[in-house]
């Protein structure tokens, strides 16, 4: 599926075509595209799956074990006249749920802290040239148990979204990748800690929820 900016942008710009591109760009509001990189439903697993989950110690999670649903096309800028392009971008990712597994005490609720979040994008086949946008949200997320059995428990997550890209020096490179060069790939990683000692020894697997990219500063 090609992700196209709304045709309304063209209609918005037509009365201003007599002016320069920067004037037209200034009239374009931020544009948000939902799930442009097929991240919804991807899972974050521990980068060291055999390591013990120690409460109070950050554990690195990433999408490497469960690649998101295929490569995705460049964002289509053809509806915007005069060669106008966005020069700012924020990518939002959310954690929808977490599954706890292993030999540990599984509480009815506990609090996670999303310490860091990073999203990397690259033209397919050229991961060495990836652009990585990162942030340190220090976001506290309450996990509430929804079901469970022997050795496993499912939890929903509240207050669960964070963004990368704001004032990040790698935004121009990421935008170049997202708008040129053909098919693209993406990965997400995060450092997460938990506050309940009873979770020591368990593994946590996170499922990503809604994701989006917001493009702005058109000129």
pLDDT digits (tens, 9 = 90+) for 84-133: 889 999 999 999 999 999 888 889 999 999 999 999 999 999 999 999 99
pLDDT at 219: 87
Q: Where are the domains of the chain?
A: 8-218
d(CA 91, CA 94): 10
Please say whether the beta carbons of 173 and 102 come within 8 A. no
Full-model pTM: 0.86
Half-sphere exposure of 73 (CA within 13 A, CB side): 7
């Amino acid at each position: 599926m090609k992700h196209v900016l709304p045709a309304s942008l063209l209609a918005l710009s037509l009365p201003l075509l007599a002016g320069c591109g920067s004037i037209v760009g200034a009239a374009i509001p931020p544009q948000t595209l939902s799930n442009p990189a097929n991240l919804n439903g991807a899972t974050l697993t521990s980068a060291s799956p055999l390591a013990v989950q120690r409460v109070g110690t950050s554990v690195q999670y990433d999408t490497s074990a469960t690649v998101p649903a295929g490569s995705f096309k460049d964002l289509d800028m053809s509806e915007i006249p005069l060669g106008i392009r966005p020069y700012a971008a924020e990518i939002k990712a959310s954690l929808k749920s977490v599954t706890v597994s292993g030999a540990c005490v599984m509480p009815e609720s506990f609090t996670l802290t999303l310490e860091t979040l990073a999203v990397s994008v690259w033209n397919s086949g050229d991961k060495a040239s990836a652009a990585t946008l990162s942030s340190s949200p220090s976001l506290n997320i309450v996990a509430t148990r929804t079901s469970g059995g022997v050795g496993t428990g499912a939890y929903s997550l509240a207050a669960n979204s964070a963004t990368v890209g704001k004032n990040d020096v790698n935004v121009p490179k990421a935008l170049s990748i997202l708008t040129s060069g053909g098919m693209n790939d993406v990965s997400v990683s995060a450092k997460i800690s938990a506050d309940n000692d009873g979770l020591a020894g368990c593994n946590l697997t996170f499922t990503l929820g809604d994701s989006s990219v917001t493009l702005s500063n058109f000129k």
